[in-house]
Amino acid sequence: MVKITAAMVNELRQKTGAGMMDCKKALVEAEGDFDKAIEILRKKGQKIAEKRADRDSSEGAVIAKVNDSNTKGAIVSLNCETDFVAKNDDYVAMAHKMAEIALGTSSKEEFMAADFDGMTVEEKLTEQTGVIGEKIEIGAYKTLEAPYVGSYIHGNKIAALVGLSAEVDNVDVLAKDLAMQIASMGATTLSYKDFDADFIASETEARIAVIEKDNIELGRLGKTLKNVPKYISRAQLTDEVLAQAEADIKAELIAEGKPEQILDRIVPGKLERFIADNTTLDQEQCLLDQNFIKDEKQSVAEYVKSYGDVEVVNFERVSLS
């Protein structure tokens, strides 16, 4: 019978991350053969994975990485069952390593088959399910390529990548600010121009219905009613709509007794407010149309323009919540 030493157990533990007793049992069963011991631990992980397949893996670590040339980025969400595991330093380190591996791949299938210390990523997930005793899986895999790519991670729970069309002065600051905007404000598309007309129409109807329902309750309580907008996107604000809004504003001001000679100083601000009140969908979902979080007096598009000849070409965002 092969003698299993503490050094052998420690070496297997360092290689797999499994507990001391699990490593010792695997080595004993494998009669000291390291490869067989690793296979034993892997099979244990497979059995646990099968038992926990229906568990919810809504916790984890979301990591974004960018290559040295800032031309490609990757986001990997390594999911688990509990926040306790997600905050473990070794678990976060594993998530970082997986994101590094993802940088060298172009599809999730390729990533899952990629090498992770002598085994595939998929096999590593199975092994760690056995080691940790929780369902461990890849919740999200995203890659992005552009002339310049920046990233941002918020508390290992939200990660964002942004692709820019050119590398301009202080592009690192611009990219980080934009990635932070994406992570914080949850944009889903670049501009209101990307919206489908049918989507805007259905969203408008749904949002108005919600506000009108809320107003019934507010009215019953004697509280101020919410404004019911006619529109929710800049895509709906045609030249004719804006011209009519401006005419209505002027008529209202005149009715209030405002002198005509000062209308030109008041109308622009009122018109801006009209646009803001009627573009709520854009503010929620369109990156370039959102107010910039570091200076809400300008839009994200205006902030990008301040850097010169550069545009946002694409972005990715992954969140655990």
Domain boundary assignment for the chain: 6-51, 59-185, 192-305
Fold for domain 59-185?
A: Tetrahydropterin Synthase; Chain A (3.30.479)
Helix, strand, or coil (residue 163)? strand
Among 179, 164, 163, which residue's Cα sits nearest to residue 293?
A: 179
Mean pLDDT value across residues 43-64: 76
Tokens at 127, concatenated: 């092994």
Confidence of residue 44 (pLDDT cuts 50, 70, 90): confident
Please choose, from the candidates 68, 60, 69, 75, the residue with its C-alpha nearest in 3D space to the C-alpha of residue 314.
75
Asked if 289 and 301 count as a contact pair (C-beta separation under 8 A), the reply is yes
**Mean pLDDT computed over every residue of the chain:** 90
Count of helix runs (H) and strand runs (E) in the chain: 13, 10
101 pLDDT more than 80: yes
Phi and psi torsions of 184, nearest 5°: -75, -40
Is the predicted pLDDT of residue 42 greater than 80, yes or no? no
Task: Look up residue 40 and give its amino acid.
Answer: I
Lowest mean pLDDT among 40-44, 86-90, 209-213: 40-44
Helix axes 121-132, 34-51, angle to 10 degrees: 80
Q: Are strands 158-164 and 312-319 parallel, antiparallel or unpaired?
A: antiparallel
Q: What's the start-to-end Cα distance of the chain, in Å?
A: 52
> Positive or negative CA dihedral for 160, 161, 166, 168?
positive
Kindly state the average pLDDT of the residues 261-288.
92
d(CA 19, CA 12): 9
* pLDDT (average), residues 8-23: 74
Query: Angle 34-51/6-16 helices, nearest 10 degrees?
Result: 50
**Cα-atom radius of gyration of the chain, to the nearest Å?**
27
Q: How far apart are CA 4 and CA 71, in angstroms?
A: 49
* pTM more than 0.85: no
Average pLDDT over residues 16-37: 77
SS3 158: strand
Tell whether the model's pLDDT for residue 7 goes beyond 70: yes
Phi, psi angle pair for 136, to nearest 5°: -120, 125
pLDDT at 153 over 80: yes
Q: Which of the residue ranges 65-69, 117-121, 167-171 would you say has the lowest mean pLDDT?
A: 117-121
CA distance 252 to 3: 93
* Mean pLDDT on 282-295: 95
Say whether pLDDT at 37 is over 90.
Answer: no
Mean pLDDT in residue range 285-311: 95
Range name among 29-43, 83-97, 115-129, 193-207 with the lowest pLDDT average: 29-43
User: Domain 6-51 maps to which CATH number in 2.30.110.10, 3.20.20.10, 1.10.8.10, 1.20.1540.10?
Assistant: 1.10.8.10
User: What average pLDDT score do residues 142-162 get?
Assistant: 97
- Which of 131-135, 170-174, 213-217, 264-268 is predicted least confidently? 131-135
Calculate mean pLDDT across residues 108-125.
93
Q: Supply 176's token pair.
A: 């980080």
Q: What is the reported pLDDT for 191?
A: 95
Q: Are 282 and 192 in contact (CB under 8 A)?
A: yes
Which of the four pLDDT bands, split at 50, 70 and 90, describes residue 1? low
Q: Which amino acid is at 52?
A: R
pLDDT of res. 261: 86
Q: Comparing 12-16, 21-25, 280-284, 302-306, which segment has the lowest mean pLDDT?
A: 12-16
Mean pLDDT of the region 146-157: 97
Rounded to whole angstroms, the Cα distance separating 28 from 149 reads 49
Does the pLDDT at position 9 exceed 90? Answer: no
pLDDT over 90 (residue 172): yes
237 Cβ partners below 8 Å, 6+ apart? 231, 275, 278, 279
**CB neighbours (10 Å) of residue 70?**
19
- Comparison of pLDDT for 145 and 131, the residue scoring more: 145
Residue 53 has pLDDT above 70, yes or no: no
Q: Distance between CA 157 and CA 319 in Å, rounded?
A: 6
107 pLDDT above the threshold of 90: yes
Q: Which residue has the higher pLDDT, 24 or 213?
A: 213
